[in-house]
Amino acid sequence: MSDPVIVALITSGLGFLGVVAGLLRKTDKKLTAVKTDTAAARAQVQNSHSTNLRDDVDKVIARLDAVLAGQARHDEALREHGQEISGLARDLSHERAERLAVSERLDRHIDAAGR
């Protein structure tokens, strides 16, 4: 091989190595950024105690379902109480009207007897 060919091969090889080194450096920076982001995400979701986060979330959901079921029962009880109170108010109004009617008849009877 001639000297110009050897120089061209060496120059091309060094250029290629430079490109590869640059790519590796960029890749290393990206991997470091991914590692940093992963560590930050892990710090946000990793429990500092012995239970698993998914199990903890499942327990919270189950308890919330129980609270919602209790709320539904409470709402139904309030509805029933409202109906009972409305019935009592109607009965009281009816009793009041009957008492006033009796009072008026008694007043008329007393007036008629006093004449």
Distances (CA, A) of 15 to 4, 19, 47, 86: 16, 6, 49, 93
pLDDT class of 113 with cuts at 50, 70, 90: confident
Q: Give residue-wise pLDDT tens across range 35-48.
A: 787 887 777 776 67
**Domain extent listing, the chain:** 1-45
Q: Give residue-wise pLDDT tens across range 70-82.
A: 999 999 999 999 9
Distance, CA of 52 to CA of 6 (rounded, Å): 63
